[in-house]
Chain A
């Protein structure tokens, strides 16, 4: 059983650089979510896809952030011109639309450190 996979697990970058993270959801799941988690806090919702359509974006997702899911399978989250405040764990989750209350299944995240 392959769960949600995220790559890389860790990323260290210098302020001002661009970074891109990848998420591979559970294969039959058509819903995909991105969350951000800072130290000591619960995960915060960033954005949501159903298939390839991005249907909701949180106000936390500034203009420097962009997410894509071009073929309705894997997704990427890009952060441009990184700032130290972007340092966090970025979590991806997937679930199955059309099944009432299908739970979200999370990957183990990408930990970003901006120096």
Chain B
């Protein structure tokens, strides 16, 4: 499986956009980029996923570079409730029964 690299932590001011980077330089052509977040004492929460096109939903936007070697998760207007560990995961479409392999993630702290 391709692996991802994320910064261990980042801070963001409430109301501002949070841009979370992820490197996945060994990603294969059929592998998707997934983002999850985990708020303290809860299970991981699905945010968004994409293959090569940019994606947007009610939670966030996902920007994938043209060479697919990196991506950015954008939280457009961060709130205190967005404080969490954010995981960027590369997932094959057919291998390993679709299981996810988590890294250490990025601890995001949103401050007032």
Contacts and interface: CB of A to CB of B under 8 A. Distances in A.
B93 interface: yes
A56 B97 contact: yes
A43 B64 CA distance: 24
A102 interface: yes
B89 to A, nearest CB: 9
B104 A41 contact: yes
Given A42-B87, A103-B49, A48 B97 contact: yes
A33 interface: yes
Interface in B89-112: 91, 93, 96-105
A48 B100 CA distance: 11
Interface size class of B (residues with CB under 8 A): 20 to 34
Contact of A43 (B41, B49, B93, B102): B102
Contacts of A109: 42-43
Interface of B: 32, 34, 41-46, 49, 85, 87, 91, 93, 96-105
Contact of A104 (B85, B98, B103, B104): B98
24 contacts: A41-B104, A42-B87, A42-B103, A42-B104, A44-B102, A45-B101, A55-B97, A56-B96, A93-B44, A95-B98, A97-B98, A100-B93, A101-B32, A101-B49, A101-B91, A101-B93, A101-B98, A104-B98, A104-B99, A106-B43, A106-B44, A108-B43, A109-B42, A109-B43
A45 B43 contact: no
Most buried by B among A4, A91, A103, A105: A103
